[in-house]
Amino acid sequence: MADSSSLTHTLVLVAARDATSLTPVDIQAARDLVRGAAPSTLSVGEAVEIACPAPETWEHAGIGSVRTAFANRGLDVLVTPTHNRRKRLLVADMDSTIVNCETLDDIATHAGIGEKIADITRRSMNGEIEFESALHERVALLAGLPVSLLERAWKDVRLNAGALELVRTMRANGARTALVSGGFTFFTSKVATLCGFDENHANILLTQGETLTGKVSEPILGPDAKLAHLWRLVKESRLDMDDAMATGDGANDLAMLRVAGAGIAFHAKPAVRREIENQVNNTTLRTLLFAQGYQADEFVTA
């Protein structure tokens, strides 16, 4: 066990509570792997935090080794510096992060061209093709379709578990929250209202009368724009980048995930998981609150 002065970081161990629960064996194994202090419970059977030395000092250096140790237990492992854990800014992607779907793919499904567009989406989100060109290609396939498809797709959208708790808890504790998406304002405006985001930004689908033109307003909100919004929000709020948390799942989120004080990949594509160390692969958006040291009884749901 390391002395207390070396415990500069905190490991958070979270179980997928609908499938399993943390056991004393799990917790002790985590302590042994990171040479950690006695655990503190954040949610009984669901989440604990363990003060520990920096990951590079562990016997098997790095968070990947700990994640691998729990690969068959349905657990997520995150490690953050103990200083400044509670973030004062949240910037979140929407599709497959705050909501359970890719909204453009859902529009296409209602139009009968779902598989064609979904394949382009998959390759774009995994970084195999450039985001802006992929967006233009997908939207062009919607040309001539009725605007009413958007409302039909909206009926299929569901918030991911923990989305309300994440946004409302951080806001209740003074954080600014922004939904920044490579999708469309038609959806982000509705999702932002549901969750309570302070602001939302996305692409604008162009229409003519009641018909989609197959075009989006320029400039495209892609990876660089997401990063630019993150920097703008940091500066406007008179914060440091270390005060910011960003989360997303696709390659177009990488730019902001790399620089945020806490960049967390949420059920992310392989290209994102290869690069971003802190990952939520098994659990819900509640884990982003546990990573900040919130206890479950502090969560705000209404």
Is residue 93 part of the annotated active site? The answer reads yes
Reported confidence tier of residue 4, pLDDT bands at 50, 70, 90: low
- The whole-number average pLDDT for the span 207-224 is 95
- Asked whether residue 114 carries a pLDDT value surpassing 90, the answer given is no
- Asked whether residue 12 carries a pLDDT value surpassing 60, the answer given is yes
pLDDT tens digit sequence for 286-302:
999 999 999 999 999 87
The structure tokens listed for 119 are 């394949």
Is residue 243 part of the annotated active site? The answer reads no
Query: Considering 26, 95, 106, 249, which one is annotated as catalytic?
Result: 95
* pTM confidence score: 0.94
- The whole-number average pLDDT for the span 7-22 is 95
- The whole-number average pLDDT for the span 60-81 is 90
Query: Considering 93, 105, 249, 253, which one is annotated as catalytic?
Result: 93
What domains appear along the chain, each with residue ranges and CATH number? 1-83 (3.30.70), 85-302 (3.40.50.1000)
